[in-house]
Structure 1
Amino acid sequence: MGTVLSWSGGKDAAYALWKMRESDSSVRELLTTVSADTDRASMHGVRRGLYERQADAIGLPIRFVELPGDASNDEYEAVMADAMADYARRGVERVAFADLYLEDVRAYRESRLADAEIEGHWPVWGRDTETVAREFADAFAATVVAVDDDALDASFAGRRFDADFLADRPENVDPCGENGEFHTFVHDGPIFDRPVPVELGERVTKEVGHGDATIHYRDLLAAE
């Protein structure tokens, strides 16, 4: 069964690929979105070049879907529908998502696939986020690249996602950041053939979603 994995470059997607590879070799490709204006992931702020290095170290091709700057939800849905239709023509049977428990997010994804010739797959759905976070932190190396100011202060952006991070986070912050409290970039672990060296760049704070949220980003740069 041909599978494409919706890829953020962060811990949940990497964890999902890790678990899928234990019993399932069907993942053919990674799929992610970048802004056509910035050549970065909209939510994570990670550069396209780092995703390319990451995918190469994992040993899978990666497909970039470009979104117009400040894309509307309708525009996002249109480009993703085109991508799903193309995958169906290529014989891909399902797209996997690393969601853990948000019912509304899963329901939205299922609704968007309802008319597509490709199925949704949730390989880590329902797993306890505390267990996932600690298992991931023990096995992988990842850096926190973005934090929501409503959940975490700017000092958390740029930290290693590890036991210390989990211990220092406020109790109301999901250990996997499932509610968007923070985002990560994974650069080493059991799914990698080799590490992806990175170094910290500047910290930038931006208003996103038409001022709905304040996000602290920590830029990552490719290191040799």
Structure 2
Amino acid sequence: MRVAVLYSGGKDSNYALYWALKKGFEVKYLVSMVSESEESYMYHVPNIHLTELQAKAVGIPLVKGFTSGEKEKEVEDMKAVLEGLKIDGVVAGALASEYQKQRVDRVAKELGIESFAPAWHRDPVDYMREIISIFDVVIVGTAAYGLDQSWLGRRIDEKAFEELIKLNEKYKVHVAGEGGEFETFVRDAPFFRARIVFDEVEKKWDECSYSGVLEVKGAHLEPKG
């Protein structure tokens, strides 16, 4: 089974890749859609440029697609990219978004390929516990009350996750960020040949919207071991 993994660099797309490799699929491509709009309905925006470094760490070719981020048209832009690849299936990191999954499924059907979403409707607490046991994952974007700027750049470890559970109880923050509460970036994974190290970062915080982004301005690969 030759597949492409829709790849944003965050926890969910890395889990999709992890699953595909464990299944024994031949992962031919990582596909990153670069959106001009920060309000994209489909695609992760923060630090999408770093998928190039992640692809080097993984050793799988990266295919970039570009989109204005306009609703629905961005789905057709993804279809145009996938249409040019010799694949039998596409793997996505959808967890709870019906909007995203329905559109990936539709595109796959139109292209005559299979669609896989290994995390779909998993229990979010169990899912996140598995995520933090596999990946070195950090928060690079926040947009929820309770997630102040101290969360930007913070690794999601057991302690941080317990705090997210408490924020869920208090403010209904989704523990996996499925409501857009936070965005993530994976610096290391079992299938990375080298880990990613941030050299220069800048926190951008908007008190009015109570949201922020960790902009990674420089990063490099560091050998493991």
| Fold match (TM-score > 0.5) | yes
Contact 1:148-1:216 at 8 Å conserved across structures: yes
Contact persistence 2:141–2:214 (CA under 8 A): yes
What's 2:44 paired with?
43
- The CA deviation at 1:117 is 2.6
User: Does structure 1 residue 164 correspond to structure 2 residue 159?
Assistant: yes
- Identity of counterpart residues, as a percentage? 27
Identify the residue that residue 187 of structure 1 maps to in structure 2.
187
What secondary structure, in the 3-state scheme, does the structure 2 residue paired with 1:52 have? Answer: helix
Partner of 2:202: 202
1:63 aligns with 2:63: yes
Match 2:215 to one of 212, 215, 219: 219
Q: From the superposition, tell whether residues 107 and 78 of structure 1 become closer, same or farther in structure 2 (CA, over 3 Å).
A: closer
Residue number in structure 1 paired with 2:223: none
Superposition deviation, residue 175 in structure 1: 2.1
Distance 1:77 1:46 in 2: 20
- 1:44–1:145: 8 Å Cα contact kept in structure 2? no
- Residues 1:206 and 1:113: Cα distance change in structure 2 (over 3 Å): farther
> In the aligned structure 2, how far is the partner of 1:142 from the partner of 1:199?
16
Instruction: Kindly indicate whether the alpha-carbon contact (under 8 Å) linking 2:187 and 2:197 is maintained by their aligned counterparts in 1.
Output: yes
1:1-224 correspondence runs (5 A): 1-35=1-35, 43-48=44-49, 50-68=50-68, 71-87=69-85, 90=86, 92-150=87-145, 152-169=147-164, 170-171=167-168, 172-199=172-199, 201-205=201-205, 215-224=211-220
Normalised TM-score (structure 1)? 0.82
Q: Which ranges of structure 1 fall in alignment gaps of 5 or more residues?
A: 208-212
**How many angstroms does 1:221 deviate by?**
3.4
Residue 78 of structure 1 and its aligned partner are, at CA, apart by 2.8
> Take 1:33 and 1:206, find their aligned partners in 2: how far apart are those partners?
26
Unpaired segments ≥5 residues, structure 2: 221-225
